């Protein structure tokens, strides 16, 4: 995707000389990490100019390179000032630095199938000497490419290959298991919600609420009457909107299907109360990803490439039917801003939309 963006810029500015363009490739090794653990690293790209401001128009993983989600971009800064990593308008002043914070958290012991930088892994045995080790067929390598694309003062691309080596967990684990993957440990001081997730978009979707499937339980931590949930563990839910004909969700739009993935926002903890009857939660945050066309639940991974990727924050989850004999009904209601995604095409039908979520199911308190 980002290579295509770079090539497109070169075509648009075809009159540019080679001096007006650049491309570079570098490797960053994040080391050995056990299943269930993680390691982070800061990658620094300096603007060498003494008077020119570099403008970044793309910064993300190359399409398909991080599909399993072993790596993530936590933060992006310019000279220590936080930027939106999904922004396509980042300026790096002369002499300043672009800082990219990458975390490697292996999710399984399956070597990445990759063939770039003169190194093939996955289907073909790794050429391990490239990362300072003797060849070993038991070594599990995870790899991905982060691409940074510039459009001025020079058109250019920096490709950063990130490499991690996965090891079994402390108890021999070969996959990472969490609440969002369908497991509920049932530890004391926790509560698990399982059941329905119905979404209603009255402004763009006729026929009332649409019942969707949660990919796992929502796991809360309880201490006395206090309640909390790590939103990063909230299970993903998939909504597919189809049809661009009269009266259909995408009426008049140039696409006939989009897939919307709703999941919890990373690094956000929502807090509230549970008095044994009513559950109230504040600071709820959902991540919204929109993919062109129709996908299935099996396609949802942390590294899924989306046309639009944004968060809805600071909303509340309330109880509409009190907890009785293990059953409860929860509700979230919000109105999106006029430009929630920052993408004009999608904001045409998402902007200002009222969203109502009803969760009617079972709450098991341990």
What pLDDT is attached to residue 247?
Answer: 64
CA 324 to chain centre: 35
Residue 12 has pLDDT above 70, yes or no: no
Strand partners, 257: 242
The model's pLDDT over 222-276, given as tens digits with 9 standing for 90+, comes to 888 899 999 999 999 998 888 766 666 666 666 778 888 999 998 899 999 998 8
Identify the structural domains of the chain with CATH numbers, from first to last: 2-167 (2.60.40.10), 179-365 (2.40.128)
- Report how far residue 331's alpha carbon sits from residue 323's, in angstroms, rounded to the nearest whole number: 13
Strands (E), 6-89: 21-34, 39-46, 54-61, 71-78, 81-83
Q: Which of 69-83, 105-119, 176-190, 199-213 has the lowest mean pLDDT?
A: 176-190
No. of helices (H) and no. of strands (E), the chain: 2, 23
- For residue 6, what pLDDT is reported? 42
Q: Look at residue 251 in the predicted model and tell me its pLDDT.
A: 67
pTM above 0.85, yes or no: no
What is the C-alpha to C-alpha distance for residues 348 and 235, in angstroms, rounded to an integer? 27
For residue 186, count CB atoms less than 10 angstroms from its CB and return exposed for 0-12, middle for 13-18, buried for 19 or more: exposed
Tens-place pLDDT, residues 324-336: 877 889 999 988 8
Rounded Cα distance between 250 and 256, Å, is 7
Does the structure show a pLDDT above 50 at 5? no
Other C-beta atoms lying within 10 Å of the C-beta of residue 114: 22
Please report the DSSP string for 209-222 in residue order.
-EEE-BSS-EEEEE
Q: Which two tokens stand for residue 21?
A: 């363009």
Quickly tell me which residue has 């490439």 as its tokens: 305
Give the whole-angstrom CA distance, residue 143 versus residue 29: 9
The sign of the dihedral angle between the CA atoms of 236, 272, 36, 311 is: positive
Is pLDDT at 128 greater than 50 in this prediction?
no
Burial class (CB in 10 A: 0-12, 13-18, 19+), 96: middle
Residues above pLDDT 90, as percent of the chain: 32
* Tokens, residue 55: 């403008």
- 247-260 residue pLDDT tens: 666 666 667 788 88
Instruction: Note the pLDDT of residue 185.
Output: 60
pLDDT of residue 16: 52
Q: Report the candidate in 362, 310, 317 with the shortest Cα–Cα distance to residue 336.
A: 310
Distance CA 270, CA 266 (A): 11
* Interatomic CA distance for residues 129 and 308, integer angstroms: 39
- Report the C-alpha gap between 178 and 70 in whole angstroms: 14
Residue 60 bridge partners (DSSP): 147
């Amino acid at each position: 995707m980002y290579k295509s963006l770079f090539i497109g810029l070169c075509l648009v500015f075809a009159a540019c000389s080679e001096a007006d363009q650049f491309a570079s490739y570098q490797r960053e090794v994040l080391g050995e990490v056990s299943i269930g653990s993680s390691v982070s690293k800061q990658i620094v790209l300096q603007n060498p100019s003494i008077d020119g401001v570099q403008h970044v128009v793309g910064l993300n993983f190359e399409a398909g390179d991080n599909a399993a989600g072993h790596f993530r971009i936590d933060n992006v800064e310019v000279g220590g000032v936080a930027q939106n990593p999904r922004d396509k308008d980042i300026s790096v002043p002369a002499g300043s630095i672009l800082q990219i914070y990458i975390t490697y958290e292996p999710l399984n012991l399956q070597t990445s199938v990759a063939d770039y930088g003169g190194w093939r892994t996955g289907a073909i045995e790794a050429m391990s000497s490239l990362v300072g080790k003797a060849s070993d067929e038991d070594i599990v390598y995870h790899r991905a490419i982060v691409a940074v694309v510039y459009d001025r003062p020079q058109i250019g691309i920096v490709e950063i290959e990130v490499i991690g080596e996965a090891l079994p967990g402390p108890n021999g684990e070969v996959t990472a298991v969490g609440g969002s993957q369908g497991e509920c440990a049932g530890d004391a001081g926790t509560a698990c919600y399982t059941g329905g997730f119905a979404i209603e978009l009255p402004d763009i979707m006729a026929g009332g609420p649409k019942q969707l499937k949660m990919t796992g339980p929502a796991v809360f931590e309880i201490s006395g009457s206090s309640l909390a949930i790590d939103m990063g563990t909230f299970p993903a839910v998939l909504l597919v909107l189809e049809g661009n004909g009269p009266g259909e969700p995408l009426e008049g739009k140039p696409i006939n299907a989009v897939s919307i993935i709703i999941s919890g926002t990373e690094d956000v903890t929502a807090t509230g109360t549970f008095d044994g009857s009513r559950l109230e939660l504040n600071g709820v945050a959902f991540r919204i990803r929109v993919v062109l066309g129709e996908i299935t639940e099996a396609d949802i991974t942390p590294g899924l490439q989306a046309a639009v990727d944004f968060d809805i924050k600071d909303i509340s989850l309330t109880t509409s039917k009190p907890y009785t004999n293990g059953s409860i009904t929860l509700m979230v209601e919000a109105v999106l801003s006029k430009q929630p995604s920052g993408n004009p095409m999608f904001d045409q039908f998402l902007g200002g939309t009222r969203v109502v979520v009803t969760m009617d199911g079972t709450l098991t308190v341990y």
